[in-house]
């Protein structure tokens, strides 16, 4: 079947930063001589000391070491704030739209400077120094941005933990990062509901014990009365009133850490993905400009939470490095009405809108009317990120939301990659619904088979990246060996993405999803092992195996097979109890959609669970189980198939 193709419109060819020939030339230059290309692109940020060594990277086998611009010095907060004061001090840096539509405010670059300096001074007065790790557990309020930038200003390393994670998950991340300083809010507000952030922090710190964290900074969001531990906890507004709005910036080496962000893998606990300073900033700034065809005067809105990498790279750092006006939204797409996204676009004249397929799929269900009753005339570009976008959702996004006028940039990347690696460029790339299309400058994707053989031309296999780009993660915090093992051992000498992909006759890439034990639920990454270990921690559970299954809105749903302890009986009540248990252990995003009680799990004679079979059953493909002859007890499969849970 011929793929549908959308040509670049004449209007877009006129206004875009690059046309197709421009893309090809720049791409060729970038892969032919990375040193020359990135030396030139590095000039887009301000360096205290210009780098002279550009690329020094090694993907192994053996040593894996990634360094970019290694003798340069700079500061990310200086680039995102101070540098703009002369030219755009009065321009709005952040538009904040509250959960309640009556609440919004604009923060200029000058105001941002004052706020970031105050936050930095408050931290500095409490002993935060360069290299220290600071945990940020915040709702989507401007103070979250101030906190991240304040860390960058001081050279402290932030670790933002998504506000939807449980006290347990938060505690694990605080401990792994050994962070002594925590920034939070009294409560968060989402869709009219309150999120007990400070209560969760208290519970997390109880779990950790009193030794580690010595300061908790609490931003008042709802004004709820919360427990304040004398000597440890302080309200931000009170502390900020006592410090100056000026604070010196630390001169950081390009390879000094900027942040740690925990993300799920196929095994073990979430990993602390570590990103550094210079390369990350050059890469996020360059991609933000070209992928979103950003011009001065645009109002740019990325709906991601700051707790995820998209919120780091494309809500905050990339846009602010470019002096953009970036919109931060506290709420959810469906509150107070299902038109909320489109109303916000009209209210603030948003020209670039970047969201996740799961949001599109859920809004699609309500039909066109809630969209069509808004204008959306300010929109020029639509973006998609986080999971494969099915062609049906793509078409709806294009036709209904964008009125057929706005190119969609389907951007493929990962927490580990720091920025976008495969994407269309508006004005340069013909679009195919469902394809992330072509590599960004400097990115060398390859499709390999299971043995690592590089496949040429039209092909399907696993996606690897053959060489480094500046925004790449540098290590797993505190565990470089795990970094090497996870990303560079499957295909030695190459970065393994964990994704499967197809490349078509035009050289376009189609990401088919994870090929490891990582689930993508509503664009949120979740390790099957994490959900399994939460389940087996329940006293009535003896064994659990978790797989994904296709879900109309979430992309993937969580399907859990649970074997109970001897003497325990399956019941609806227990099913509910287990769902609530996992929510409590990890957070609501990890709630199993379906739980099947199973007397036994399919195992090989050596005791290894055969997930392939469990996946097929969950996907309702029991007719296609393949070879089950290596199972220790093939009869368990019959019971599993008979008692399969229905999708809803
Ligand atoms: O499977 C890919 C999917 O999301 C994974 C990365 O998840 P995370 O680190 O949480 O980062 C999400 C935001 C960058 C990838 O391995 N993914 C991300 N973007 C796309 C995608 N799959 C298909 N198409 C995309 N555009």
487: part of which helix (H) or strand (E)?
Answer: helix 480-488
Strand bridging mode 65-68 / 55-58: antiparallel
Quick one: average pLDDT of 310-334? 98
Residues 462 and 448 sit within 8 Å (Cβ to Cβ) = yes
| Dist. CA 144–CA 307, nearest whole Å | 10
268 pLDDT more than 90 = no
| Dist. CA 33–CA 567, nearest whole Å | 67
φ, ψ for residue 308, nearest 5 deg: -115, 165
Q: What value of ipTM does the predicted structure carry?
A: 0.99
Q: Is 536 annotated as a binding residue?
A: yes
**What residue owns the CA closest to ligand 1's atom 22?**
387
Structural domain boundaries in the chain: 10-51+72-448, 522-643
> Ligand 1: which of 310, 511, 530 to mutate, judged by most atoms within 8 Å of the beta carbon?
511
Q: Kindly state the percentage of the chain with pLDDT values over 70.
A: 99
Compute the distance from residue 386 Cα to the ligand 1 centre, in Å: 4
Question: Which residues on neighbouring strands pair with residue 507, listed in sequence order?
Answer: none
> Ligand 1: which of 410, 414, 416, 526 to mutate, judged by most atoms within 8 Å of the beta carbon?
414
pLDDT digits over 370-394, tens only? 999 999 999 999 999 999 999 999 9
Residues 343 and 200 sit within 8 Å (Cβ to Cβ) = no
Q: What is the DSSP letter of 50?
A: -
Q: Residue 138: what pLDDT?
A: 98
> Ligand 1: which of 274, 306, 387 to mutate, judged by most atoms within 8 Å of the beta carbon?
387
H-type alpha helices, 219-266: 236-240
Same fold, 10-51+72-448 and 522-643: no
| Dist. CA 441–CA 23, nearest whole Å | 8
Closest to 202 in 3D by CA, of 244, 238, 223, 233: 233
Q: Six-digit token pair at 102?
A: 């009556």
DSSP strand E in 270-320: where?
A: 271-276, 299-302
Compute the distance from residue 614 Cα to the ligand 1 centre, in Å: 24
Its CATH class, for the domain covering 522-643, is alpha beta
1 pLDDT more than 60 = no
Indicate the CATH number of 10-51+72-448 among 1.10.150.20, 3.40.462.20, 3.40.50.12780, 3.40.1190.20: 3.40.50.12780
Residues 103 and 119 sit within 8 Å (Cβ to Cβ) = no
| Dist. CA 329–CA 352, nearest whole Å | 14
Burial class (CB in 10 A: 0-12, 13-18, 19+), 268: middle
Asked which of 74-83, 314-323, 626-635 is least confident by mean pLDDT, the reply is: 626-635
| Dist. CA 278–CA 632, nearest whole Å | 53
Q: What 3-state DSSP class applies to 367?
A: coil
**Its pTM surpasses 0.95:** yes
313 lines ligand 1 (CB under 6 A): no
Q: Residue 625: what pLDDT?
A: 86
Q: Residue 646: what pLDDT?
A: 78
Compute the distance from residue 445 Cα to the ligand 1 centre, in Å: 15
Give Cβ neighbours of residue 461 (< 8 Å, ≥ 6 apart).
Answer: 447, 448, 449, 450, 455, 500, 501
CA angle 465, 467, 468 (to 5 degrees): 105
pLDDT digits over 597-629, tens only? 999 999 999 888 999 999 999 999 988 888 888
13 pLDDT more than 90 = no
Q: What 3-state DSSP class applies to 517?
A: coil
462 lines ligand 1 (CB under 6 A): no
pLDDT digits over 184-200, tens only? 999 999 999 999 999 99
Q: What 3-state DSSP class applies to 391?
A: helix
Residues 257 and 157 sit within 8 Å (Cβ to Cβ) = yes
pLDDT classification of 360: cutoffs 50, 70, 90: very high
Closest to 213 in 3D by CA, of 241, 242, 248, 173: 173
**What residue owns the CA closest to ligand 1's atom 23?**
388
Q: What Rg, from alpha-carbon coordinates, does the chain have? A: 24
| Dist. CA 57–CA 67, nearest whole Å | 6
Residues 215 and 235 sit within 8 Å (Cβ to Cβ) = no
Q: Is 410 annotated as a binding residue?
A: yes
Place of tokens 């790339």: 429
| Dist. CA 525–CA 310, nearest whole Å | 13
Place of tokens 């009540």: 573
Average model confidence (pLDDT) for the chain?
96
pLDDT digits over 532-566, tens only? 999 999 999 999 999 999 999 999 999 999 999 99
φ, ψ for residue 597, nearest 5 deg: -80, 125
Compute the distance from residue 448 Cα to the ligand 1 centre, in Å: 19
Compute the distance from residue 412 Cα to the ligand 1 centre, in Å: 6
**What residue owns the CA closest to ligand 1's atom 3?**
387
pLDDT classification of 647: cutoffs 50, 70, 90: low
648 pLDDT more than 90 = no
511 lines ligand 1 (CB under 6 A): yes
**What residue owns the CA closest to ligand 1's atom 15?**
414
Asked which of 11-20, 58-67, 104-113, 575-584 is least confident by mean pLDDT, the reply is: 11-20
> Ligand 1: which of 419, 520, 530, 548 to mutate, judged by most atoms within 8 Å of the beta carbon?
520
Q: Residue 2: what pLDDT?
A: 62
Closest to 157 in 3D by CA, of 51, 272, 50: 272
Residues 226 and 199 sit within 8 Å (Cβ to Cβ) = yes
| Dist. CA 415–CA 231, nearest whole Å | 36
Closest to 183 in 3D by CA, of 123, 273, 258, 259: 123
Q: What 3-state DSSP class applies to 648?
A: coil
Quick one: average pLDDT of 203-228? 96
Strand bridging mode 408-411 / 381-385: parallel
Closest to 254 in 3D by CA, of 68, 463, 508: 68
| Dist. CA 536–CA 323, nearest whole Å | 49
Q: Residue 627: what pLDDT?
A: 83
385 lines ligand 1 (CB under 6 A): yes
Residue 108 has a CB neighbour count (10 Å cut-off) of 18
| Dist. CA 321–CA 153, nearest whole Å | 14
Question: Which residues on neighbouring strands pair with residue 529, listed in sequence order?
Answer: none
pLDDT classification of 428: cutoffs 50, 70, 90: very high
Q: Which residues of 587-610 are buried (b: 16+ CB within 10 A; e: fewer)?
A: bebbbbbbbbbbeebbbeeeeebb
436 lines ligand 1 (CB under 6 A): yes
pLDDT classification of 239: cutoffs 50, 70, 90: very high
Compute the distance from residue 403 Cα to the ligand 1 centre, in Å: 26
Cα dihedral across residues 308, 309, 310, 312: positive or negative: positive
310 lines ligand 1 (CB under 6 A): yes
145 pLDDT more than 70 = yes
Q: What 3-state DSSP class applies to 158?
A: strand
| Dist. CA 184–CA 254, nearest whole Å | 28
Q: Six-digit token pair at 242?
A: 């006592």
pLDDT digits over 486-511, tens only? 999 999 999 999 999 999 999 999 99
Quick one: average pLDDT of 296-315? 98
315 pLDDT more than 90 = yes
Q: Is 190 annotated as a binding residue?
A: yes
**What residue owns the CA closest to ligand 1's atom 7?**
414
Compute the distance from residue 514 Cα to the ligand 1 centre, in Å: 9
**What residue owns the CA closest to ligand 1's atom 26?**
412
Q: Is 34 annotated as a binding residue?
A: no
| Dist. CA 133–CA 131, nearest whole Å | 6
């Amino acid at each position: 079947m011929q793929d549908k193709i959308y040509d670049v419109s004449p209007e877009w060819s006129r206004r875009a930063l690059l046309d197709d020939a421009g893309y090809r030339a720049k791409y060729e230059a970038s892969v032919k001589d990375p040193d020359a290309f990135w030396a030139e692109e590095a000039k887009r940020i301000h360096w205290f000391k210009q780098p002279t060594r550009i690329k020094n990277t090694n993907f192994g086998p053996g040593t894996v070491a990634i360094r970019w611009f290694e003798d340069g010095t700079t500061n990310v907060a200086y680039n995102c704030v101070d540098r703009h004061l002369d030219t755009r001090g009065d321009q709005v840096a952040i538009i904040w739209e509250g959960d309640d539509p009556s609440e919004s405010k604009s923060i200029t670059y000058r105001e941002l400077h004052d706020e970031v300096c105050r936050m930095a001074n408050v931290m500095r007065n409490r002993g935060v120094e360069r290299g220290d790790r600071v945990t940020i557990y915040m709702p989507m309020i401007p103070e979250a941005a101030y906190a991240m930038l304040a860390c960058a200003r001081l050279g402290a390393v932030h670790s933002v933990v998504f506000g939807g994670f449980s006290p347990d998950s938060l505690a694990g991340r605080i401990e792994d990062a050994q962070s002594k300083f925590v920034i939070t809010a009294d409560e968060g507000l989402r869709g009219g509901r309150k999120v007990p952030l400070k209560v969760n922090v208290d519970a997390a710190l109880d779990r950790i014990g009193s030794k580690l964290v010595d300061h908790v900074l609490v931003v008042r969001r709802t004004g709820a009365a919360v427990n304040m531990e004398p000597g440890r906890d302080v309200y931000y507004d009170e502390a900020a009133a006592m410090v100056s709005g000026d604070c010196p910036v630390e001169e950081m080496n390009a390879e000094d850490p900027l942040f740690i962000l925990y993300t799920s893998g196929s095994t073990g606990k979430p990993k602390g993905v570590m990103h550094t300073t210079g390369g990350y900033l050059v890469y996020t700034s360059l991609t933000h400009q070209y992928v979103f065809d950003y011009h001065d005067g645009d109002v740019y809105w990325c709906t991601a939470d700051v707790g995820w990498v998209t919120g780091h790279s494309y809500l905050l750092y990339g846009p602010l490095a470019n002096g953009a006006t970036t919109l931060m939204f506290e709420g959810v797409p469906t509150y107070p009405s299902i038109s909320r996204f489109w109303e916000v676009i009209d209210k603030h004249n948003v020209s670039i809108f970047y969201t996740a397929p799961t949001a599109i799929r859920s809004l699609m269900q309500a039909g066109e009317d809630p969209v069509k009753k808004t204008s959306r005339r300010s929109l020029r570009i639509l973006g998609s990120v986080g999971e494969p976008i099915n062609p049906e959702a793509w078409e709806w996004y294009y036709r209904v939301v964008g009125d057929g006028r706005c190119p969609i940039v389907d951007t493929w990347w990962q927490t580990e990659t720091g920025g976008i690696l495969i994407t269309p460029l508006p004005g340069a790339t013909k679009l195919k619904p469902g394809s992330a299309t072509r590599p960004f400058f400097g990115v060398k994707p390859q499709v390999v088979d299971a043995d690592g053989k590089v496949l040429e031309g039209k092909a399907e296999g696993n996606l690897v990246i053959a060489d480094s780009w500046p925004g790449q993660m540098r290590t797993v915090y505190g565990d470089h060996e795990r970094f090497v093992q996870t990303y560079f051992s499957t295909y030695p000498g190459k970065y393994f993405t964990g994704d499967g992909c197809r490349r078509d006759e035009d050289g376009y890439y189609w990401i088919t999803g994870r090929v490891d034990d990582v689930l993508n639920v509503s664009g949120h990454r979740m390790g099957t092992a994490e959900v399994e270990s939460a389940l087996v921690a329940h006293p009535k559970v003896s064994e659990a195996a978790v797989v994904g299954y296709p879900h109309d809105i979430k992309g993937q749903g969580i399907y859990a097979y649970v074997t109970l302890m001897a003497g325990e009986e399956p019941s609806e009540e227990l099913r509910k109890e287990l769902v609530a248990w996992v929510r409590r252990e990890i957070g609501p995003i990890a709630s199993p959609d379906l739980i099947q009680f199973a007397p036994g799990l399919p195992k090989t004679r050596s005791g290894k669970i055969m997930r392939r079979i469990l996946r097929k059953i969950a996907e309702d493909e029991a007719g296609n189980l393949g070879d089950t002859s290596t199972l220790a007890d093939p009869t368990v499969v019959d019971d599993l198939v008979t008692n399969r849970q229905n999708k809803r």
